Amino acid sequence: MTTSRRIAVVSAGLRQPSSTRLLADRLADAAGRQFTARDVDVDLRVVELREHAHDLTNHLLSGFPSTSLERAIEAVTTADGLIAVSPIFTASYSGLFKTFFDVVDADALDGMPVLLGATGGTERHSLALEHAMRPLFTYLHAIVVPTAVYAATSDWGAEGAGDGAGATAPTGLTRRIERGAREFAELVTGREPRQAADPFAVPTPFEQLLAEN
Ligand SMILES: Cc1cc2nc3c(=O)[nH]c(=O)nc-3n(C[C@H](O)[C@H](O)[C@H](O)COP(=O)(O)O)c2cc1C
């Protein structure tokens, strides 16, 4: 039995440093610990969408991805599980985040476990995860884990604040990250590794093609 899984991490943050990337890294680290606890190796591939922003627009206009964008898309479509994190812009996922999933084949995420995360300025927009991001991945037939993780500016401020006596109790954000990561690892390890599509595979045997003519 294979004891390794490919995990793709997509982060759509724009700023540098990016709180979205920070959340993506925290989710990936927590998931990594969960996989290790289950004796499963992880091949982690991070896709930082700001690096592909120009290529994504060109792909929309021309219909062809650049080599680096093609590699990024392949990292996602061949993964056994996906961690997808977007900043919240105007109460929804960002345009860059949506553009990337617009150019991914609509069937490519079918049956893929997905852990969702989002960052925002206000806690009041946390439900964008549920009314915007989750339906997008449901449409793509991905299997979205029940816990989606939102980090508002105030959550980062609470990190490391401690209890006043020198101890740092886990914050609400840390607990949400751990819970989402555990659910994600359970889903991914409970499924067989996905078979990578063979680009040279002949879908219909030649004998059959000849017999039909
Ligand atoms: C154009 C724009 C729109 C935004 N709209 C919202 C919003 O509706 N709700 C919210 O909570 N934060 C909003 N924000 C704040 C960002 O979600 C927040 O700063 C995010 O963490 C930035 O991620 P980054 O650091 O990875 O770039 C907006 C920011 C920008 C630039």
The domain made up of 4-212 is a member of CATH 3.40.50.360: yes
Which tokens go with 146?
């029940």
Find the mean pLDDT for residues 17-32: 98
pLDDT confidence bin for 197, thresholds 50/70/90: low
Mutation pick for ligand 1 pocket among 22, 50, 89, 124 (CB with most ligand atoms within 8 Å): 89
CB-based contacts of 77: which residues, under 8 Å, 6+ apart?
Answer: 104, 105, 108, 109, 197
| The Cα angle at residue 45 between residues 151 and 53, in degrees rounded to 5 | 70
Query: How far, in Å, from the CA of 89 to the mean position of ligand 1?
Result: 5
Provide the pairing of β-strand 81-89 with 4-11.
Answer: parallel
Query: How far, in Å, from the CA of 121 to the mean position of ligand 1?
Result: 6
Find the mean pLDDT for residues 27-56: 98
Which tokens go with 19?
């709180």
Model pLDDT for residues 47-65, shown as the tens digit of each residue: 999 999 999 999 999 999 9
- Whether 84 shows a pLDDT value over 90: the answer reads yes
Instruction: Provide residues with CB under 6 Å of ligand 1.
Output: 13-15, 18-20, 87-91, 119-122, 125
pLDDT of residue 170: 82
pLDDT of residue 205: 66
pLDDT confidence bin for 161, thresholds 50/70/90: low
79: left (phi over 0), alpha (psi -120 to 50) or beta: beta
Dihedral sign from CA coordinates of 121, 60, 198, 140: positive
pLDDT confidence bin for 204, thresholds 50/70/90: low
Find the mean pLDDT for residues 7-36: 98
